[in-house]
Chain A
């Protein structure tokens, strides 16, 4: 089945630093999504990418859909304490409703 490898598994950074995380797939996706999960809550959609090469920003967040359609990255600039949480990538192939989720990157921000 499809697998999404997300890296790094965890990150400890200082406030103000930039963050980069990525996701790679063993197969092609036609949609990439990035979610953030706060403690005790469900994941919340941050950014959606719909075509290869697309670069999309949402405030301090920037994500790109890889040219090969098998990878995506998420950057967070000038991190702040509320960026703490688990970030998940997710991909969809074909016309199926089902998303495949990555294993998550746990982000900790220290003052």
Chain B
């Protein structure tokens, strides 16, 4: 299994631009999670999906952030417009119903200048 695949690995963008992060979960996993990691706040859960349905988006910082999961093998996290304070590493993770742990992707390091 290739694991959780995230793209791009690195993204540098100018303030005000739209950013789209992508995630392919492990085949067969039915839960998908988006996390943000910063030095100040650690790992923060932004949103998670069960069976492609958003369950809890209370961690999404503001309306500039949106996430979709159109099918079981793909999810996106979009920031529009981006701001410098959005700079962080964004992780996607997936979990199967029989699992108790998550499998994380390698992350997308976002820098907004």
Contact = CB atoms under 8 A, between A and B. Distances in A.
Contacts of A45: 101-103
A78 interface: no
Interface of B: 4, 31, 33, 42-43, 45, 48, 50, 55-56, 91, 93, 95, 100-107
Contacts of A31: 100
A63 interface: no
23 contacts: A31-B100, A35-B101, A41-B107, A42-B4, A42-B104, A42-B105, A42-B106, A43-B91, A48-B100, A48-B101, A88-B43, A90-B101, A97-B31, A97-B33, A97-B50, A97-B95, A98-B45, A98-B56, A99-B45, A99-B101, A101-B42, A101-B43, A104-B42
Given A42-B91, A42-B93, A97-B50, A92 B100 contact: yes
A88 B42 CA distance: 10
A68 B56 CA distance: 28
Contacts of B4: 42
Q: Which 10 A-B pairs have the closest CB atoms?
A: A42-B104, A45-B101, A101-B43, A97-B31, A103-B42, A43-B104, A42-B91, A33-B101, A31-B100, A42-B107
B88 to A, nearest CB: 13
A41 B106 CA distance: 5
Size bracket of the A interface: 20 to 34
Given A43-B104, A97-B50, 7 more contacts: A40-B106, A45-B102, A88-B43, A97-B48, A98-B45, A98-B56, A99-B101
Among B43, B45, B56: residue with most chain A CB under 10 A? B43
Interface in A27-57: 31, 33, 35, 40-45, 48, 50
B107 A99 contact: no
